[in-house]
Chains A and B, each alone.
Chain A
Amino acid sequence: MGLFKKKKNEISKKAEYTEYDAISDRRKSESRQTFRRTIAAIFFAFLFLTPTVLTFTNSFMTASEISANYGSIFAQNTSGGKVFVSEVVNLKFIPDMVTFSQYATVLFKSPEYLMKFWNSVIYVVPIVVFQLFVASLASFGFARYRGKIKQLIFFLYIVLMLMPYQVTLVPNYMVTSELGIVGTRWAIWLPGIFSPFAVYMLTKYMRRIPYSLYEAASIDGAGEWQIFTQICMPICRGGLASIAILIFIDYWNMVEQPLILLDNEEMYPLSVFLSRINAGEISLAFAVAVIYMVLPMLFFLYGEEYLVEGILYQGGIKE
């Protein structure tokens, strides 16, 4: 009996062995492929990270080191005397001497950068907050009850969202000049607040909330406002966070709108102003860039999951 069992085991083992062989072959080629792919991923990661890392490390260089390294590209620092300037660019990741002097200059000696940074904040924060507010109301209107007219309007929102700036800026300019707010902060705020982007995103988010949830609340005697604030909004918290990040990135980097809608350079946000720096005070440019990067980076580090979720919600235009 025992002998028979053993034999049977052996046979099945052998059969398994050949199959195992095939699998291990495939595994081997798979692991080779995985290896190649890992190499590719590392290569790309290197490419993707270099600019960020470079900006960060170079912000700790002294002014003379930066002008020595990059003086051939950017105009000479006016305050610097005769310093060694290499004829071609000298790309360096590690500063010779780590210094916070650039930051000190930006933060304490040249208030214009802080002013521009403050400008950026003043533009972006109300746009994010109020675009979300207007959009959550509107999306609730779109998602709670549907109808043919609403479907049509929603489609119009999608079309508007897909239009490039080059198209929407012209109408924007016409209205803002008609309202007499060209050159004021309102010219940036108002079109930003009413941008259809957040409405589109949030509506898609809200449509996933089962209708029965609203019905149940309604039968329990909740009014529309209660349903909105106590059921819909808490569910959408994640969606709001992810959309806020996407809006923030977009407006933090705005260039087109200030160029056309503002005529006073004093009011430019840092995103536009930073390009002017390159001509004059290149030694400060990296430090200012890092300061400008801090907020988005913080959002990114704490909200990467939300960002990814937001991107995915944006996916699938057709509903």
Chain B
Amino acid sequence: MSDNAGKKLDRYLKKNAARAQKERKYGSARLRRWRGRAVSWLYLAPSLIGVGLFFVLPFGVVIYYSMINNPVQHEYVGFNNFIRTWQNNAFSLAARNTLLFSVIAVPLAVMLSLWLAVIMESRIPFKSTFRTFFLSPMMVPIASVILVWQVLFDYNGLVNVLLTRAGIDRIDWLKSDLAPLVIILLFLWKNLGYNMILFMSGLSSIPKDQIEVARLESATEGQIFWKIKIRYLSSTIMFVIIMSLINSFKVFREVYLLTGDYPYNSLYMMQHFMNNTFASLDYQKLSAAAIIMAVFMMVVIGILLLAEDRFGKDLEQ
């Protein structure tokens, strides 16, 4: 009897101790989590300060500069700078060229790299070797690329040699309206491998059974590609478009190294305009141009993300 009571007491004490321990633990866990939360902001701090100092805060300054008449008088002029920049011949030329380049180069980059990825997905031999080859342009420094492109497209270059042999008049490629074509080739050469990798992973994540079912129901390869694969790839396609768009703005590097500060009109890019405006210290025009471009980019990316949302929706249900 007493033995039993002792056991009961023992059990009661144990239970109590366990609860107390649990409470202690949970309490301290909550405290720890709260402290952790606070500490996590400390971890963020260096980056936040840096990004704030070098990107966010100065962007506010840029907006301010775009609204004043000059850095000395600081007089508010509203949208005058934007209008002035918009009507500037050099700006509109640069904007037109950059836009035209992106509009042609980006879809080409997306389609060609998707095609390459489809090729790489099929049962071809030496897959990993091919992948290495296709990726290698990423690693080749611009300078060597520039050398080779000059050898190819100079007035006395290889392409013209071949043209004259075929009985066609030679063209001074980099000083003609066809110059963007040369740069588009360069852009594709440099970026296809990167995009291809993205598409390859997108293709491999498509559920195989869906394709099997479609095949059993005698869908053609074309139908499978357009009705199933493209659907599943929609988010990858969006990402590739965005990355290609950003990379298409970077093509200035190559253009600059090929043709210098003042290239042929058809190659005058946004960055040329920026660099030359930097040289003349016209901060207002510069700020306005940067903001116009930022707004444009936000609108484009917003549209792309919205489109992806609508396009990819029926898949998730």
Interface positions of A (Cβ within 8 A of B):
30, 33-34, 37-38, 40-41, 44-45, 47-52, 54-55, 70, 72-74, 87-89, 91, 134-135, 137-138, 140-142, 144-145, 147, 150, 153, 156-157, 159-160, 162-175, 190-191, 193-194, 196, 199, 218-219, 224, 228, 249, 252-253, 255-256, 259-260, 270-272, 274-275, 277-278, 285-286, 288-290, 292-293, 296-297, 299-300, 304, 307-308, 311-312, 314-318
Question: Which of the residues B50, B154, B164 comes within 8 Å of A73, measured between beta carbons?
Answer: B154
- Evaluate contact between A171 and B130: CB separation under 8 angstroms: no
Point out which of B55, B116, B123 has the most chain A C-beta atoms below 10 A from its C-beta. Answer: B55
Q: How far is the CA of A202 from the CA of B125 in the complex (A)?
A: 34
- Evaluate contact between B136 and A52: CB separation under 8 angstroms: yes
- Evaluate contact between B133 and A289: CB separation under 8 angstroms: no
- Rounded to whole Å, the gap between the CB of A246 and the closest CB of chain B is 9
- Evaluate contact between A174 and B58: CB separation under 8 angstroms: yes
- Evaluate contact between A159 and B298: CB separation under 8 angstroms: yes
Chain A residues within an 8 Å CB radius of B154: 72-73, 89
B241-293 interface with A by 8 A CB criterion: 242-243, 246, 249-250, 252-253, 256-258, 270-271, 274-275, 278, 283, 286-287, 289-290, 293
Point out which of A47, A48, A150, A160 has the most chain B C-beta atoms below 10 A from its C-beta. Answer: A48
- Evaluate contact between B293 and A166: CB separation under 8 angstroms: yes
- Evaluate contact between A164 and B141: CB separation under 8 angstroms: no
- Evaluate contact between B158 and A89: CB separation under 8 angstroms: yes
Interface positions of B (Cβ within 8 A of A):
25, 29, 32-33, 35-37, 39-44, 46-48, 50-51, 53-59, 61-62, 65, 116, 119-120, 122-125, 130-151, 154, 156-158, 160-161, 164, 189, 192-194, 197-198, 201-202, 235-236, 238-239, 242-243, 246, 249-250, 252-253, 256-258, 270-271, 274-275, 278, 283, 286-287, 289-290, 293-294, 297-298, 301, 305, 308
- Evaluate contact between A167 and B141: CB separation under 8 angstroms: no
Q: How far is the CA of A277 from the CA of B37 in the complex (A)?
A: 54
Question: Which of the residues B43, B48, B124, B250 comes within 8 Å of A140, measured between beta carbons?
Answer: B43
Can you name the residue of chain A whose Cβ is closest to the Cβ of B304?
A: A317
Contacts A159-B301, A171-B59, A286-B144 known; 13 new A-B pairs at CB < 8 A: A48-B134, A48-B189, A49-B136, A52-B140, A73-B151, A144-B40, A165-B271, A166-B293, A190-B50, A191-B55, A286-B147, A293-B144, A311-B198
Closest 8 CB pairs of A and B: A194-B50, A171-B58, A138-B47, A274-B143, A141-B44, A141-B43, A289-B144, A164-B249
Chain B residues within an 8 Å CB radius of A87: 156
- Evaluate contact between A44 and B116: CB separation under 8 angstroms: yes
A interface, over-half SS: helix
Question: Which of the residues B61, B140, B243 comes within 8 Å of A171, measured between beta carbons?
Answer: B61
B interface, over-half SS: helix
Can you name the residue of chain B whose Cβ is closest to the Cβ of A170?
A: B290
Q: How far is the CA of A89 from the CA of B58 in the complex (A)?
A: 48
Chain A residues within an 8 Å CB radius of B134: 44-45, 48
What are 19 contact pairs spanning A and B, CB under 8 A?
A: A40-B119, A48-B134, A50-B148, A91-B151, A138-B46, A144-B40, A145-B33, A164-B297, A165-B249, A165-B271, A167-B297, A170-B62, A170-B274, A170-B289, A171-B55, A300-B138, A311-B194, A315-B198, A315-B201
- Evaluate contact between B138 and A307: CB separation under 8 angstroms: yes
Chain A residues within an 8 Å CB radius of B158: 89, 91
Q: How far is the CA of A259 from the CA of B253 in the complex (A)?
A: 10
Question: Which of the residues A37, A170, A299, A314 comes within 8 Å of B119, measured between beta carbons?
Answer: A37
- Evaluate contact between B44 and A312: CB separation under 8 angstroms: no
CB contact under 8 A between A157 and B139, given known A55-B144, A171-B59, A311-B194 = no
Question: Which of the residues B33, B157, B271, B287 comes within 8 Å of A166, measured between beta carbons?
Answer: B271
Chain A residues within an 8 Å CB radius of B242: 162, 317
Q: How far is the CA of A175 from the CA of B116 in the complex (A)?
A: 43
- Evaluate contact between A72 and B246: CB separation under 8 angstroms: no
Can you name the residue of chain B whose Cβ is closest to the Cβ of A160?
A: B55
CB contact under 8 A between A270 and B55, given known A73-B156, A190-B50 = no
Can you name the residue of chain A whose Cβ is closest to the Cβ of B37?
A: A145
CB contact under 8 A between A47 and B55, given known A89-B157, A170-B62, A316-B239 = no
- Evaluate contact between B58 and A293: CB separation under 8 angstroms: no
- Evaluate contact between A41 and B136: CB separation under 8 angstroms: no
CB contact under 8 A between A271 and B40, given known A194-B53, A218-B29 = no
- Evaluate contact between B39 and A224: CB separation under 8 angstroms: yes
Q: How far is the CA of A157 from the CA of B301 in the complex (A)?
A: 14
Chain A residues within an 8 Å CB radius of B40: 140-141, 144-145, 224
Question: Which of the residues A144, A150, A304 comes within 8 Å of B36, measured between beta carbons?
Answer: A144
Question: Which of the residues B51, B116, B150, B239 comes within 8 Å of A160, measured between beta carbons?
Answer: B51
Point out which of B29, B58, B123, B145 has the most chain A C-beta atoms below 10 A from its C-beta. Answer: B58
Q: How far is the CA of A255 from the CA of B271 in the complex (A)?
A: 11
- Rounded to whole Å, the gap between the CB of A278 and the closest CB of chain B is 7
Q: How far is the CA of A311 from the CA of B252 in the complex (A)?
A: 22
